[in-house]
Amino acid sequence: MTTRLLSRRGARAMTVRVGPVEYRLETSLPALWRELSALYRDYPRNDPQHCPEYEVSVHPTSWWRRFVRPQINLRADIMGPFAPLPADLGQVAFEMGMNYQVAVGLNRYLILHASSVEREGECVIFSAESGSGKSTLAAGLAWGGWRLLGDEFALIDPRSGLALPFPRPISLKNRSIDVMAERAPADRFSRRYYGAPKGTLGYLLPPSDSIARMNEPARPRCVVFPRFEPGSTPGILRVSKPEAHVLLVGSSTNYQMLGEAGFLAMADLLDACPAYRITYPSLEAAAALVEQIWRHSAEQRQAQQEQAAQKQMERLDG
């Protein structure tokens, strides 16, 4: 691996590509560098053919803060309201900074705050607020035969309508870490980060296949609004297109910014995808519901195609 000295004395940096986005990541903290290198070990790095789009760096807030109550600052091309964090949360800071660059700066795609998984060249988009279980659901499916496209953002190309993979390490919170620890190999997990803004965090490296195939987009087949509710009865409800539109616009970080292109991309997405709401008490129940939706959406599309073909025949006959 190639590293280079940068503006900060002793700092090391790498370029990492995740799907269509290339980052330059820099830190002067050796322990953090080791964590970062381990978490991004499967991703294309330091490719001289690529130019990083976003820079994210994590450094001590001051020289003495390396030693006394260690504290770090997150710096990035697009600066957000980043408060200093305890040095132990350096990896969390990197992930926050990387997310923020995409959420605020990446405007060549329609960005939905959603996870997504692929099979047979098509994908399911799970749109939900933080804490609804969309990352855990995507992680569970990714380790159960589906390909992970992303756990945080779905990137929809307005020109083709395809969902582009953005398979960053999966961010798991609190109990979800234990849930996934039973399903994924131990060597794919980061250590646990206690005292993070959303509780205890852990990162799960996606299956190697999801990373290796991150240049392969998928056609959205259905949209699901998941809700994890302990003790609930598993259930599926159809969501009308107008309601799905309102929910998805609310989940998009750049719908307004994209203007007409965003409107058309969203309208095409909802034309093509039936939407559902699911409530589930466990990952197994959710996986079964997703299978049901997967079949139903295919049947529905086939029925629509047959109906369209029938209409065409009637027009020709008439």
Binding site for another protein (CB under 8 A): 240-242, 245-246, 249, 256, 259-260, 263-264, 267, 270-271
In terms of CB distance, is 239 or 286 closer to another protein?
239
In terms of CB distance, is 82 or 263 closer to another protein?
263
Name the strand (E) or helix (H) holding 55.
strand 54-60
In terms of CB distance, is 249 or 298 closer to another protein?
249
Helix-, strand-, coil-residue percentages of the chain, each rounded to 5:
35, 30, 35
In terms of CB distance, is 180 or 248 closer to another protein?
248
In terms of CB distance, is 182 or 271 closer to another protein?
271
Name the strand (E) or helix (H) holding 200.
strand 199-204
- Smallest distance from another protein to CB 257, Å: 9
- Smallest distance from another protein to CB 250, Å: 12
Contact 225, 270 (CB under 8 A): no
- Smallest distance from another protein to CB 253, Å: 16
User: Which of 160, 144, 165 minimizes the C-alpha distance to 18?
Assistant: 165
- Whole-angstrom distance, CA of residue 67 vs CA of residue 89: 15
- Smallest distance from another protein to CB 98, Å: 28
DSSP 32: H
In terms of CB distance, is 75 or 238 closer to another protein?
238
Burial class (CB in 10 A: 0-12, 13-18, 19+), 237: exposed
- Smallest distance from another protein to CB 267, Å: 4
In terms of CB distance, is 197 or 259 closer to another protein?
259
Q: Which residues, other chains included, contact 60 with Cβ-Cβ below 8 Å and sequence gap of 6+?
A: 28, 29, 66, 70, 71, 72, 73, 87
- Whole-angstrom distance, CA of residue 257 vs CA of residue 251: 13
- Smallest distance from another protein to CB 273, Å: 12
Q: Which residue has the tokens 């560098």?
A: 33
- Smallest distance from another protein to CB 161, Å: 14
